[in-house]
Every structure is written in C-alpha cells, then in structure tokens.
Amino acid sequence: MKKLNVIKIFLLLILSICTLESIAQTNSASKQKQSQSQTSSKQKQATSQTAAKTEIKVQDTVFFELPDSANYKNARTYWDELPEFPGGTDSLNKYIAKKTVYPESAIRDKIEGRAFMRFAIEPDGSTSDIQVFIGIRSDLDNECIKTIKEMPKWKPGTTVLRANKGWYRTTTKWMYSIPFTFSLTKSEKGEANIITPK
C-alpha cells in the first residue's frame, strides 16, 4: 500500500511539472505573438498613414472577463482544463490493459516492472512526442510506445489566454505521463494499467 501511495505522489509531481512547463510555453508563445503584432502594427502605421483600419474577427471565440483575484482571498485559481481520454480514466486503464501485449521475449526471460511514458496531446487530440521517461527493457518500452501511438483522439486540454478584447479559452498542447506495469502474475486490486500475459 505504501508503494501505491509513493507512486501516486510521484505521478502527481510529474503531472504538476508537465503542467507548469506547458503553461510557461504557452505564456512565452503569447508574449512573442504580442511583440510581433506590436512591431507589425508600427510598421504599417509608418508606411501608410491613410490606410483604412481593418478588423480581424476570429470565429467561435468567446471573450470574457475574469473576476478579480482579491475576491478569492489570495487563493490560487486554476483556469486550465486537462486533456481527457474518451470515456475517462477507467476507459484509459481498460484500453491500456487490452491493447498492450506482453512480449514473448519478456515472458520467456521473466521480466516484470513498471515503465513511465511521457507524451504530448496535441490541440486536435492526437498523441505525439512519445518518450520513455522510465523504461524497463526495449521490447517492453516499444510495446508501450505502440499502444500510445494507436490511441484514439483525446478531448484536448484547454487554457485561458488574454487578448485585447478580453480573456478567451483555447485548446493547447499538453504533456501527459502514464505508467505501464508489466506483471507475470495477476495484479493486486486497485492498481491500474496492469499488463499480464494473454
């Protein structure tokens, strides 16, 4: 039971780090876009003072105001929505257990263990940038990569960004981590993502 709690804490730590990295990347990209648009607008004004103003409209974008953070008595507010596998976490666990094959070579060599995979969920819900965060052995790691590559599209994660008109929600790329546990015996109750020989 202690192992399970340590693993949960470790996964939460990884997810927190990934979320912070994603927010930092989004913020830097937003700042770059703002500075580019300011430079571009200054150049346009210098070259053509009589040009008519044009307004760019973004379809399906809803702008809104966020409440003052003082109303929350210094509590941190979290506006991002994480990506979600179709059907939720239970469906993800079932998908991994069903689609991941325990390689014959690992069964023959009696190899067991837990691999942690890290990958990106793109704004369109597809998976990319698959990495072996903590591996076991190449045949087991490759099976995990194959399972992630073949995943159906996720509900993409979203974040809140600021524009001149106000705040708006948009889909964004998120990093995600999943453990794969390979066990030659039946799993303990309560553990997820257990792959056993079929």
Position 104 scores a pLDDT of 94
Residue 162: φ, ψ to 5°: -110, 135
Task: Say which residues have a Cβ less than 8 Å from residue 189's Cβ, sequence separation at least 6.
Answer: none
Structure tokens at 53: 């103003």
Q: How far is CA 135 from the centre of its chain?
A: 20
Position 126 scores a pLDDT of 96
Beta-bridged to residue 134, according to DSSP, are: 116
Per residue in 81-95, pLDDT (tens digit) is: 899 999 999 999 999
Position 195 scores a pLDDT of 86
- Interval 133-147 mean pLDDT: 95
Whether 123 has a pLDDT exceeding 80, the answer reads: yes
The structural domains of the chain, ordered by start, are 2-34+80-195 (3.30.2420.10)
Per residue in 46-80, pLDDT (tens digit) is: 444 333 333 444 456 565 565 555 455 554 556 78
167 CB-side CA count, 13 A: 11
Whether 189 has a pLDDT exceeding 90, the answer reads: no
Q: pLDDT confidence of 106, banded at 50, 70, 90?
A: very high
Give the span between the Cα atoms of 100 and 147, in whole angstroms: 6
Give this prediction's pTM.
0.61
End-to-end CA distance of the chain: 26
